[in-house]
Amino acid sequence: MRQEGRLVLVDPARQVEHPLDEFGADAWELMVRGATFATLATELAAKRQEARNRTRSRLKEWLGGLLVLGLIRRGQGSASAAEGA
């Protein structure tokens, strides 16, 4: 959801909120469209004009944080990054 012009991930059942920075907002928009991890890394690296390896590392760290917070879950045999994180 958007709060004060920022994208914030919310789990109302657990009262957890996590604001997204620009990197997270860009990644989340791709994820909700079903982007795979490889697509996320490629498109984010191009958009942010940084090395793909750096983007992959940032993406792994960011997805890991969301996983720990319980805002995404790890999927089995899933093609999308959101489900497969």
Tokens 């989340």 belong to residue: 28
Domain boundaries, the chain: 2-84
User: Is the confidence at residue 32, as pLDDT, over 50?
Assistant: yes
At residue 6 the predicted structure's pLDDT band, cuts being 50, 70 and 90, is confident
Position with higher pLDDT, 41 vs 3 = 41
Class of CATH domain 2-84? mainly alpha
| 68-83 per-position pLDDT tens digit | 999 988 765 554 554 4
Tokens 């590392």 belong to residue: 57
Share of the chain above pLDDT 70, in %: 87
Whole-structure pTM value:
0.79
> Do the Cβ atoms of 85 and 67 come closer than 8 Å?
yes
